[in-house]
Structure 1
C-alpha cells in the first residue's frame, strides 16, 4: 500500500488494531502518519504539524510568524513571481519545489540569465505546481537532530553538511561533527531549534531542522518532523548514544518522557559520514566484493560501510541525494581524525 494512501492506511490500521504509528525517513509518509493517528486517536503529531513540516511555503511562513530566523522568500507559480522577487531582493537566490525532498528541483541562481531555467526545473518537480524562491545565505550548512517533549526541544546532534561543489548544489557528500562553530553560534542555534519546533506547532516528536550559519547567525532552511534519512539517524546515535527509532516508537506508544525511557549507548566525540558519488568514480578501479567490504569495516575507527551499487549498474549522475551510491561512517576523538579514517577506508574500497 502506498504511504500516500491515507484512507487505505487508516482502514488497515483499524483492522489490525494497531497501538502506534510512525515513519522512518519517508517525507511522503508524514501526512499519512498524522491522519492515521488522528483517525484512531493515537499519540502523534497533528495534521497541522504535518502540513507545516512538509509544505515548504507554509513552513517558511510559519518561521516568520514565530520569529524563527530565516531568509526572505516568496511563492512561485510562474516566471513573473521569481523575476519580481529578484528585482526586490537581488541575487543569488535558491529555487526549490514547495513539496518534494532529496534536493530534487533545487538550484542556486546567481544571475538573471539562469533564472527561467531554474524556475522551470523547480516547477517540473513540484507535484502541486508551486515552488519557493528565497535569498541565498552564505555560510556553513548545519544539520540538527532533536527530540521534542511537551513542546521543549532537546538537541541530540549538530553536524556540518559538506556539499558538492558547483555545478552541483545542496547535495551532501559528507556529514561531519563537531561543526566548526563558535560557542555563541551554538547557543544561537539551540534557540533557533526551539523556535523552529514551535513554528510547526510540534508538542512531541522528532525534528530535523537544517540551517545556514551566516554572519548574522543561524538562518533556517527547512525542518522535517520525522527521523531523517541520509544516515542522520546514525549521526544522532553516534553523537548522543540515543537511537531515534527507539524514541519514535516510545512516542508512538504514548511514552511522555522517551529520552529518559530509551536505552543509551556511549556517545562519540566526533563522527564523519562520507558518501561516495560520481565525483569519486574516476578512482574506482574495480567494485569491491563482499570480502573487501568486510575488510573495510574492520579498519580502525570505521563504524559502518554501506555499498548500494550493483556490479553492473552505471554510476548515477549526482542530480539528487539518491545518487550517492555508498557511505563510510567513522568515529574518533576529533573530527580531523574521523575524516582521515573515513578517507583511508574509501581509498581501500576504491582500490587506491
Structure 2
C-alpha cells in the first residue's frame, strides 16, 4: 500500500513538491480551499479545507491516517503542519518553533533573547504607536505586518507623512492586531537556506539575492549560488543560524532567512521554518546535487536523509513580474522554447492566453520563473526581459 503524504497548499510553489511525491510513489493528499490552483489536477486526493484551519486539517489527517505532512514556499500553513505533527506523532517542526517563526514580532523578540544579530524594532498596535515608534527609531523605517509573506504589508517609509498609508497597508493584509516598526538596515540583502535534521544543522547555504521594487515595496526577484562572502562572514552566518535554531527550537525542518550584510557584519531580518520560494529548491539541486523536494518529503515521512553534496555548480533564479496588467492575448511559445534551449534555462509560465495577468504589487504577483546554470544576474535579467516580450497583452 502506498504511504500517504498530506501536502498543504495547491499553489504554484507546491506543484513541484506534489510532482516529486508522485515520483516517489506516494499517495498525495492536497489540502487547500477551492480555487484555480494547479496542484489540484496533480493530487490523488483533495481536501477542501483552509490550510490555516488547524483543527479541521488535523481531523482530516487523523481520519485519513497519513504518514507525513509537508509544504514549501509558504508560511501560512506552518502552524497547522506543526499541530498535526505534534498530535499524530509525525516528524516536523514543533508548535513552539512554528509559533515564533510565523509571527514577526515573536520572531524579533526571540532574536533579542537569543542574541541573534538583528535590527532595532518596536511592536505596535495602533497608528499612534507606530508613529511614536518611527520617531523613536528614526526614519527611514520598515512598517511590517507580522503574519504574511511575499512582501505583503511591508513598506519602507522615509517620511512621517507617509507612515499612515504604510500602516493601513499592513493592517489590510494582516490577521493579527500587532505590527512591527523596524529600523532600516544598511548594506546588501542576501538569503540563507538551511535544514535542521534530528537536532543538527545539516545544510547552511547562503546565497545572493536580487530584488525589484514596486513603489516602496521591495520584492525578492531572484537568487544565485554560490555566495561570495568572506570566510569571516560565512562563519558569522553559521553562528547566527545556530543561535536561531537554539532560540526557536526548530528541528526536522527547512529554515529560510533574509539577512542584511555590510562588509563582514550581518543582521538577520527574518527567519522562517520552511523552504524559501523564488526557485530555491531548484537552485539547491543544481548547486549541491541534493534533491531538496525529496529531502523535505523524506524528512516528513521519518526516512533517513542524505545531505552529502554531489555537485558544486553556479546557478540562479529569476521570477517574472509584469509592470502592466491585462488579458493575455497570445504567448510566443516557439520563441520561449528557443530562449530556453539557447540558454539551458528551465522556464515556467504560470499564466496562459485568456488569463488576467496581474501588474506587480508584491511577491505573490509572479507570472513565471527562470532557472539558469549561471550565477550572472545580468544574464538572468536579459532573459527575463526576452521572455516578457513574448507575452502579448
Shift of 1:101: 1.1
Shift of 1:82: 1.4
Shift of 1:251: 1.7
- State whether structure 2 residue 240 is matched by structure 1 residue 198: no
- CA RMSD, aligned part only? 2.5
Aligned partner of residue 21 in structure 1, secondary structure: strand
Aligned pair count reads 341
Shift of the 156–243 alpha-carbon distance from structure 1 to 2, 3 Å rule, reads farther
Tell me the equivalent position of 2:14: none
- State whether structure 2 residue 219 is matched by structure 1 residue 171: yes
Tell me the equivalent position of 1:294: 337
Q: How does 1:56-135 map to 2 (within 5 A)?
A: 56-135=104-183
Aligned partner of residue 310 in structure 1, secondary structure: coil
Tell me the equivalent position of 1:145: 193
Distance 1:25 1:137 in 2: 25
Tell me the equivalent position of 2:320: 276
Distance 1:248 1:173 in 2: 23
Shift of 1:189: 1.4
Distance 1:137 1:289 in 2: 42
Tell me the equivalent position of 1:318: 360
Shift of the 75–345 alpha-carbon distance from structure 1 to 2, 3 Å rule, reads closer
Contact 2:195 2:253 in 1 (8 A): yes
Structure 1: 5+ residue stretches without partners: none
Shift of 1:339: 4.1
Shift of 1:81: 1.4
Which one is further off, 13-22 or 50-59? 13-22
Contact 2:333 2:390 in 1 (8 A): no
Shift of 1:152: 2.6
Deviations 1:139-185 (A, max 9, x none): 21111111112333233532222111462422022222334433322
Aligned partner of residue 218 in structure 2, secondary structure: coil
Distance 1:127 1:210 in 2: 22
Structure 2: 5+ residue stretches without partners: 1-48
Tell me the equivalent position of 1:259: 306
Deviations 1:315-340 (A, max 9, x none): 422211121212221113xx33x642
Aligned partner of residue 222 in structure 2, secondary structure: strand
Distance 2:57 2:367 in 1: 31
- State whether structure 2 residue 389 is matched by structure 1 residue 350: yes
Contact 1:227 1:245 in 2 (8 A): no
Contact 1:94 1:106 in 2 (8 A): yes
Shift of 1:234: 1.3
Which one is further off, 239-248 or 89-98? 239-248
- State whether structure 2 residue 302 is matched by structure 1 residue 236: no
Shift of the 348–55 alpha-carbon distance from structure 1 to 2, 3 Å rule, reads closer
Tell me the equivalent position of 1:308: 350
Greater strand content: 2
Aligned partner of residue 217 in structure 2, secondary structure: coil
Deviations 1:255-286 (A, max 9, x none): 4x5235x8x65341x2121222224x69xx98
Tell me the equivalent position of 1:248: 296
Aligned partner of residue 299 in structure 1, secondary structure: helix
Contact 2:191 2:207 in 1 (8 A): yes
Q: Under a length normalisation based on structure 1, what TM-score does the superposition of the two structures give?
A: 0.88
Deviations 1:3-56 (A, max 9, x none): 112222222222222111111223211111111111112222211111011011
Distance 2:247 2:338 in 1: 46
Distance 1:168 1:318 in 2: 12
Aligned partner of residue 259 in structure 1, secondary structure: coil
Distance 1:343 1:286 in 2: 23
Contact 2:111 2:118 in 1 (8 A): yes
Aligned partner of residue 215 in structure 2, secondary structure: coil
Which one is further off, 51-60 or 179-188? 179-188
- State whether structure 2 residue 271 is matched by structure 1 residue 223: yes
Shift of the 305–57 alpha-carbon distance from structure 1 to 2, 3 Å rule, reads same
Contact 2:339 2:383 in 1 (8 A): no
Shift of 1:61: 0.4
Aligned partner of residue 218 in structure 1, secondary structure: strand
Contact 1:96 1:133 in 2 (8 A): yes
